[in-house]
């Protein structure tokens, strides 16, 4: 790197010698995300030479076989890794020397001391001090037991043991309701200090999600407008085209869209949009502000659930000319399943900044387009200078004369993926003799502005955990507050008659019923 600033950044972000121990190493996440991310960090010089990875799982396998499986997975994804480096065999060989495999059953107490011995022998081979990052990528039901066994075998100490550091990354889902999340948080608290626990939400590792904070707090022009006086509504969409590929149905059918996407990813986005400026750019200061937002989401009663949420499930349909099976026909899905593959919500944030501003959230599988975005709709001018046909403007602008305007509300769209960027739409006079208003757009695109691909979320998050920066991980009280709200919706749904499912065809924008969440004049769901 020639850029001295970048060099400074690199030095600062460089990890200490350490070992990453991955539980559940035979799973998809390890070969698809974790190893490619570590490999890329290694190639780019973020990881030291004294570094190793130990994959732990039930299946019998040698180190050589494990390395070869990972190499094949990397080759299959090499276009995603980008650049020459991923292709250079030397880099891979150097990296692969540091990868090991250890077979064990996670539920056998006696297996943990043996694991400790294996880690110790790898550390001595590479001269690595006992700095250990344990990564729990197993079935969620095993998280608690593994933590307890790690503590019993003295592989982790709450607050550390003064020799090296131990940290644990816990994959999602963190619990499946408020009770189970509280139990797991209690186990975490009994085995680790909070600053050793890294609850992962990969959305927070996305470059564009991190940019939300920069956008709000490194600039002065938007923050004065960022409140109920100027903003009419906020719409957060995470639309996916995928269905149940990759054998996910077993997990998903027991989870549904609300648990899978809203409890974590969408509520995190909501927090970043709605939170107050933190006092410092530091993990706890930021997390304090996010918790305050989550605590303003009061648990809903069943009648509020009926009024403010809409569930959907995809039926057979067609996408890009291909016919697509309905959710209930997918492998591993109960043919009578009432699991939601789509959910839309109207939320209220009851604080001084946001009272009265609807936050509209939606996410779904088998929608026509993959797009995650946050759209901020501003209020109309108080007086309609540019009068046109009568329109109901009261809802977007309670102060409006209601006489109708030609002007359209300004719209700020933060595109999180794909086509990452930010656009601001405003009214302009179209050329000509008439006073004809048209919406025009100012557009910032990551691709053209920075000319380099963004790192994958897992690269960023793994490096942060190795360095000990928990800013982009969720804290116990955040998870608790999110589940408290989400569990009230599940309870409401359980008390209400189930909707007629399936209720949208694969390739459609969810059930038509989701439009009823809007009030007159609020504009409806954006067509993406």
Task: Give the residue numbers marked as catalytic.
Answer: 265
In the complex, the smallest distance separating the C-beta of residue 341 from ligand BG6, rounded to whole angstroms, is 10
Site string for ligand BG6, 371-390 (x = CB under 6 A): -x------------------
Task: Report, in angstroms and rounded to the nearest whole number, the Rg of the chain calculated over CA atoms.
Answer: 25
Ramachandran category for residue 325: left, alpha or beta (phi over 0 → left; psi -120 to 50 → alpha): beta
Which residue's CB is nearer to ligand BG6, number 132 or number 366?
366
In the complex, the smallest distance separating the C-beta of residue 240 from ligand BG6, rounded to whole angstroms, is 5
Q: Which two tokens stand for residue 60?
A: 């019998």
In the complex, the smallest distance separating the C-beta of residue 247 from ligand BG6, rounded to whole angstroms, is 13
Residue 402 CA to residue 526 CA, distance in Å, equals: 23
Which of 260, 340, 456, 478 is close enough to bind ligand BG6 by CB under 6 A?
260
Residue 172 CA to residue 291 CA, distance in Å, equals: 19
Which residue's CB is nearer to ligand BG6, number 123 or number 456?
456
DSSP strand pairing (317-319 vs 342-348): unpaired
**Which residue from 446, 473, 481, 464 is spatially nearest to 204, judged by alpha carbons?**
473
Give me the residues paired with residue 169 across strands.
Answer: 135, 198
* Signed CA dihedral, 468, 452, 372, 80: sign only: negative
Which residue's CB is nearer to ligand BG6, number 15 or number 371?
371
Helix ranges (H only) for 226-367 are 249-252, 257, 267-274, 283-296, 302-308
In the complex, the smallest distance separating the C-beta of residue 324 from ligand BG6, rounded to whole angstroms, is 16
Closest-CB residue for ligand BG6? 260
SS3 486: helix
- How many chain residues are in contact with ligand BG6, going by CB under 6 A? 5
* CA distances (Å), origin 216, targets 211, 224, 278: 8, 10, 11
Which residue's CB is nearer to ligand BG6, number 123 or number 201?
201
* CA distances (Å), origin 482, targets 176, 331, 466: 11, 31, 26
Which of 149, 240, 459, 484 is close enough to bind ligand BG6 by CB under 6 A?
240
Site string for ligand BG6, 151-180 (x = CB under 6 A): ---------------------x--------
Displacement of CA 343 from its chain's centroid (Å): 16
Please return the burial class of 305, using the count of CB atoms within 10 Å of its CB with bins 0-12, 13-18 and 19+: buried
Which residue's CB is nearer to ligand BG6, number 240 or number 315?
240
In the complex, the smallest distance separating the C-beta of residue 328 from ligand BG6, rounded to whole angstroms, is 18
Which residue's CB is nearer to ligand BG6, number 181 or number 349?
181
In the complex, the smallest distance separating the C-beta of residue 22 from ligand BG6, rounded to whole angstroms, is 18
464 is a site residue for ligand BG6 (CB under 6 A): no
Number of neighbouring beta carbons within 10 Å of residue 268: 20
Can you tell me which residue has the tokens 């998870």?
479
Q: Which two tokens stand for residue 387?
A: 């009068």
Ramachandran category for residue 186: left, alpha or beta (phi over 0 → left; psi -120 to 50 → alpha): alpha
Which residue's CB is nearer to ligand BG6, number 51 or number 174?
174
Q: Residues 159, 165, 166, 171: what is their CA dihedral angle, to the nearest 10 degrees?
A: 110
Q: 102 — phi, psi (to 5°)?
A: -135, 125
Q: Which residues bind ligand BG6 (CB under 6 A)?
A: 172, 240, 242, 260, 372
């Amino acid at each position: 790197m020639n850029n001295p600033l970048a060099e400074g950044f690199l030095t600062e972000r460089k990890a200490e010698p350490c070992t990453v121990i991955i539980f559940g190493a035979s799973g998809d996440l390890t070969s698809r995300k974790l190893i490619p991310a570590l490999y890329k960090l290694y190639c780019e010089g973020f990881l030291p030479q004294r570094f190793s990875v130990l994959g732990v799982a039930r299946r019998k396998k040698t180190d050589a076989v494990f390395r070869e499986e990972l190499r094949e997975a990397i080759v299959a994804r090499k276009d995603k890794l980008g650049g020459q480096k991923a292709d250079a065999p030397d880099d891979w060989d150097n990296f692969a020397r540091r990868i090991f495999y250890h077979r064990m059953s996670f539920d056998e107490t006696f297996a943990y001391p043996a694991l400790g011995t294996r880690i110790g022998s790898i550390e001595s081979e590479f001269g690595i001090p006992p700095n250990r990052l344990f990564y729990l990528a197993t079935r969620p039901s095993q998280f608690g037991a593994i933590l307890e066994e790690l503590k019993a075998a003295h592989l982790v100490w709450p607050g550390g043991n003064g020799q090296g550091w131990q940290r644990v990354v816990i994959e999602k889902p963190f619990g499946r309701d408020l009770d189970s999340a509280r139990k797991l948080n209690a186990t975490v608290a009994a085995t680790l200090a909070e600053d050793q626990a890294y609850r992962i939400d990969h959305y927070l590792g996305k470059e564009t999600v991190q940019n939300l904070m920069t956008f709000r707090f490194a600039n002065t022009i938007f923050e004065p407008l960022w409140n109920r006086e100027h903003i009419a509504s906020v719409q957060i969409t995470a639309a996916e085209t995928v269905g149940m590929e990759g054998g996910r149905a077993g997990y998903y059918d027991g989870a549904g869209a609300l648990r899978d996407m809203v409890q974590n990813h969408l509520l995190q986005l909501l927090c970043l949009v709605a939170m107050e400026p933190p006092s410092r750019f530091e993990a706890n200061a930021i997390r304090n502000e996010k918790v305050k937002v989550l605590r303003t989401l009061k648990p809903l009663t069943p009648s509020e659930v009926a009024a403010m949420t809409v569930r959907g499930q995809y039926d057979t349909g067609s996408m890009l000319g291909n016919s697509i099976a309905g959710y209930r026909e997918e492998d591993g899905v109960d043919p009578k399943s009432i699991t939601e593959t789509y959910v839309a919500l109207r939320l209220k944030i009851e604080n001084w900044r946001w009272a009265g501003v609807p936050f509209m959230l939606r996410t779904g599988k088998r929608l026509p387009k993959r797009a995650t975005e946050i759209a901020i709709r501003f209020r109309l001018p108080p007086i309609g200078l540019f009068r046109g046909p009568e329109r109901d403007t009261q809802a977007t602008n309670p102060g409006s004369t209601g006489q109708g305007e030609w002007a359209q509300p300004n719209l700020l769209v933060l595109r999180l993926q794909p086509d990452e960027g930010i656009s601001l739409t405003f009214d302009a006079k179209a050329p000509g003799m008439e006073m004809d208003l048209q919406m025009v757009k100012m557009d910032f695109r990551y691709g053209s502005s920075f000319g380099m691909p963004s790192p994958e979320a897992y690269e960023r998050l793994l490096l942060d955990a190795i360095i000990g920066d928990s800013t982009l991980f969720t804290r116990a009280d955040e998870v608790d507050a999110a589940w408290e709200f989400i569990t009230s919706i599940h309870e409401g749904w359980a008390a209400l008659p189930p909707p007629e499912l399936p209720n949208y065809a694969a390739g459609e924008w969810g059930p038509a019923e989701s439009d009823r969440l809007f009030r007159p004049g609020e504009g409806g769901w954006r067509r993406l």
